């Protein structure tokens, strides 16, 4: 994660990396609850996560370590910018929990989403908006809506996140096919468009390249946006211009960081296992709650 958020203070970078690690732990808990059919435990966890997002201070000592860890991360992240930014971050986080819940229901019900539905769901389960919000925290500046929501800024930011999501799906495809998984862009392409595994991989490659092209096309417009923000020569305008440039710089870093990570993580070098209930990278053979 350090490559995603260059320029962040040591304290913020530690909070972001811990939050990223928490996401992997949550993703694995989600997978275990699906595989072991722990419907009530999953529902209980979703309720607790929603409550923690809104008021993390009250859940720092929660007996579920996953809940307490999220509370700790959010307390630190919520100390970076204003209450308005915190509210926006929380507003972007609740749909992520709901999307994970939708994936839980899809998987336990044996549903492979159609390609368009999967893309919409994946942008939530990958938490696109949260990682984009954290660019502002790294820059130390909360951008006004006119900048943060500007089509060029969003086009560049979403392209980097889509790249990460689709490259993750590409690297995970063989592993997830071997494990009987239902949620992967390649699996949706195979199920709903009749592609072979090889054809699906080629199509994901195409989409990954398109993300890079989209970003490169949007980048000059974002730089122009930064220049326009700084043109009024006020301290506020100068800060906004510098923040936009910081965000754009780290958007670029996502490409190389995502590529590097996926080729150094054991999570994506697994293409078979004997017991579906316990993938090799998870030590949970009895499905403990």
**Residues forming the active site:** 23-24, 126, 267
What's the chain's length in residues?
289
Dist CA 273 CA 176 (whole Å)? 11
Q: Map tokens 């209980």 to a residue.
A: 44
| Residue 238: both structure tokens together | 């100068």
CB contact burial 139-165 (16+ within 10 A = b; e otherwise): bbbbbeeebbebebbbbbbbbbbbbbb
**∠ CA(229), CA(232), CA(235), 5° rounding?**
85
Name the H helices within the chain: 10-35, 39-54, 65-77, 83-109, 115-125, 128-139, 145-148, 151-178, 185-193, 197-230, 235-262
Place of tokens 């440039």: 245
């Amino acid at each position: 994660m350090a490559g995603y958020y260059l320029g962040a203070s040591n304290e913020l970078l530690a909070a972001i990396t811990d939050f990223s690690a928490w996401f992997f732990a949550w993703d694995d808990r989600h997978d275990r609850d699906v595989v072991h059919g722990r419907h009530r435990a999953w529902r209980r966890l979703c309720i607790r996560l929603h409550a923690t997002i809104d008021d993390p201070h009250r859940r720092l000592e929660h007996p579920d370590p996953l809940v307490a860890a999220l509370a700790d991360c959010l307390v630190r992240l919520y100390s970076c910018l204003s209450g308005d930014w915190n509210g926006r971050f929380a507003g972007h986080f609740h749909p992520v929990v709901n999307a994970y819940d939708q994936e839980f229901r899809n998987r336990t019900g044996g549903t492979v989403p159609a390609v368009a539905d999967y893309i919409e769901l994946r942008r939530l389960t990958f938490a696109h908006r949260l990682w984009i919000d954290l660019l502002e925290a790294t820059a130390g500046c909360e951008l006004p809506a006119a900048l943060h929501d500007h089509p060029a800024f969003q086009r560049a930011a979403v392209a980097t996140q889509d790249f990460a999501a689709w490259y993750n799906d590409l690297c995970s495809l063989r592993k997830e096919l071997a494990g009987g998984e239902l949620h992967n862009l390649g699996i949706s392409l195979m199920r709903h468009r009749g592609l072979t595994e090889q054809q699906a991989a080629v199509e994901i490659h195409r989409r990954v390249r398109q993300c890079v092209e989209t970003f490169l096309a949007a980048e000059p417009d974002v730089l122009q946006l930064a220049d326009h923000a700084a043109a009024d020569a006020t301290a506020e305008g100068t800060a906004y211009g510098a923040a936009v440039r910081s965000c754009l710089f780290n958007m670029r870093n996502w490409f190389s960081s995502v590529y590097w990570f996926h080729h150094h993580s054991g999570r994506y070098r697994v293409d078979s296992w004997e017991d579906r209930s316990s993938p090799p990278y998870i030590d949970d053979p009895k499905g403990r709650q």
